[in-house]
Structure 1
């Protein structure tokens, strides 16, 4: 079985959860004997191989407002040529881009089964538009664009109940399946105790409240920053660490100084995977204030490191707070509610229990299950091909 994965963003191009999810899926499928070809963007046109995955790269461009997500704008007849050469059994489209639409069109002409995975909603894109009064118009337009994909493929998938519902309540889809983006849980084993990790990061005797993600309005890091003063007033050893970079970084740094809380806050910028693992192992609590997550990859990573979580009560994030209890939700955009939840969690004596519950619950999101479910879906589409 040969699968063509179509995604403008594929490592090392761009950065974010989509790239990581798609590359992890490709590599895991290969491990299960599936031949995988990827059609993606790149700085130049080329064909390369990485971890037994064949990658066709078409030259991409970057928009000033969306620099972390370059996309393929000019591909001419290359999509048609690649599909004719590779003859995939299934075409799996990951993003609603021009490249994705061209691939959908060519696959339909050849009666190749199609899968579309929802990775982004209109509100994820609207954050980058400078013309705020027209966001509702662009949002409606983007939903219609998503619908063209959802209603013209053999099956749609999404990583959460929330995300899948956004498709099924709006569009007539042939088949809808929830499949987690998945984590390779073998990559998240603890190398150090919390005390050792804190020492390596020069954070001894501090309780780290960790955020990992882009510093952009889409992720609402300002809400977490707004909770700092109240938390520190009751827990002086609390240290808020923001791992990641983005257009809000300078504003957040300035605000922390203006509020007199800079000593309790750290902005790491981009860091290596190894250093990021240290922060996960040093943290006491992980917080994700975003109200627009379709799953929450960094939250699942924190759970894989046995961290209690606090997430906004919005989007798909509440699905990650389960029973037995592994954390709390807070009212989205409410910094006071968030601060109170952090104080409550840090003040409880059962952080370790919450963390163990996180670890147990994230096992259901193991990458092996994700790959197996996709293999099952692909095979069913081929068996029912007409």
Structure 2
């Protein structure tokens, strides 16, 4: 077992290129990390882009000190803010000097992540790096032909290898995402560490009752962005037999909402589709609990926290057979997969679940809940805490019980 060199409460500095109020998986994973470490008694600081025009500012948000760096709107993305390296280098260095962190933990290899990584190396601070991102995720927002997008992605993978390679330990949420990194030429060892989920909070409390709708509800939760393929879900929903009397609930915000609403009207299912928009944590929990099946057509998820949340609420799944999503489905036991882009197969798989009896759907949901146990948030925080305290690199930094086998092929 690695020798622990850091005792007692730690000062942890998290570098994030996306953080709330951004709404996406990486931002929420980073927020949960910050809250989880704060709950364990550590002093947590976050460096992230300021979400509006103005100078860099620091303040306490939900008990965590957040340093918001001056940023600029991305010309091709509706919400992304960019921090220019030459503008933030000095500010990041000053934050390190003022905070004197025991460990830095970057969440991406882009502007903020790279600046924090370089300063951690310069100052001799232990550095952990986590990759939540696929470079291809940005393709819908880049106005370039496909051949040029491939060049951009290749260079981004190369930059990821260079920046994350500065770290003492590199993690990513799933074994599948580690395999993907290796397949793109990643040279360092990568440790799969789940983002984790507090599954108990999505269960019904003793004596709690949820008003269930009369018609079965298909639920989607996520950003209404192009890579989520919500248009495919609406197409699949429109193909369902009328006798099912199903309804579709879409929870989330994003630039694709007007086009999706137009599609629902065009397919004459608008009266059966509810666009909930932004939901609070409690509203989201209730949406999971009252739904009949959770559907995720996105193909760019390295873990899909929303799918884990649905599983925690004991719901069957229909997920795209892409990236890490297949690892969440035991076919016929807790749900089904479909070929990305195949609307008819997507519709058939949803129908298979909706045709089941209430008892059979409940059994599938119970299987989902059992599977999600391996993604315990407490376990993930314990693993990361051990990485923070260790003086070792790569898998050697983990206690023997947590060591993950090399997944390179």
TM-score by length of 1: 0.91
Q: 1:312 to 1:96 in 2, by over 3 A?
A: same
Q: Is the 8 A contact 1:94 1:116 kept in 2?
A: yes
TM-superposed deviation, 1:300: 0.8
Q: 1:195 to 1:234 in 2, by over 3 A?
A: farther
Which runs of structure 2 are paired with 1:49-198 in the superposition (5 Å)? 49-73=60-84, 74-133=87-146, 134-169=148-183, 170-173=185-188, 175-190=189-204, 196-198=210-212
TM-superposed deviation, 1:347: 1.1
* 2:220 counterpart (190, 208, 211): 211
TM-superposed deviation, 1:51: 4.1
- Give the structure, 1 or 2, with the largest relative contact order (CA under 8 Å, sep 6 or more): 2
Does residue 321 in structure 1 map to residue 332 in structure 2?
Answer: no
Q: Is the 8 A contact 1:193 1:281 kept in 2?
A: no
The residue aligned with 2:386 is 376
Q: Is the 8 A contact 2:231 2:263 kept in 1?
A: no
Looking at structure 2, the residues matched to 46 and 110 of structure 1 have their Cα atoms a distance apart, in angstroms, of 23
Looking at structure 1, the residues matched to 238 and 72 of structure 2 have their Cα atoms a distance apart, in angstroms, of 41
Question: Secondary structure of the equivalent of 2:80?
Answer: coil
Looking at structure 2, the residues matched to 188 and 378 of structure 1 have their Cα atoms a distance apart, in angstroms, of 29
Which runs of structure 2 are paired with 1:227-238 in the superposition (5 Å)? 227-235=236-244, 237-238=245-246
Q: Is the 8 A contact 1:15 1:68 kept in 2?
A: no
Q: Is the 8 A contact 1:194 1:283 kept in 2?
A: no
The residue aligned with 1:201 is none
Question: Secondary structure of the equivalent of 2:301?
Answer: coil
Q: Is the 8 A contact 1:197 1:279 kept in 2?
A: no
TM-superposed deviation, 1:313: 0.4
The residue aligned with 1:5 is 14
Looking at structure 1, the residues matched to 78 and 145 of structure 2 have their Cα atoms a distance apart, in angstroms, of 19
Does residue 25 in structure 1 map to residue 36 in structure 2?
Answer: no
Deviations 1:189-230 (A, max 9, x none): 3369998433xxxxx311000011112211011111111122
TM-superposed deviation, 1:276: 2.2
Deviations 1:72-123 (A, max 9, x none): 3332411111112222222111122212111111111222222111111111
TM-superposed deviation, 1:295: 0.3
Residues paired across the two proteins, number:
377
Q: 1:247 to 1:380 in 2, by over 3 A?
A: same
Q: 1:195 to 1:106 in 2, by over 3 A?
A: closer
The residue aligned with 2:260 is 252
TM-score by length of 2: 0.86
What stretches of structure 2 of length at least 5 have no aligned partner?
Answer: 1-9, 398-409
CA RMSD between the two structures? 2.3
* 2:286 counterpart (272, 278, 287): 278
TM-superposed deviation, 1:157: 0.4
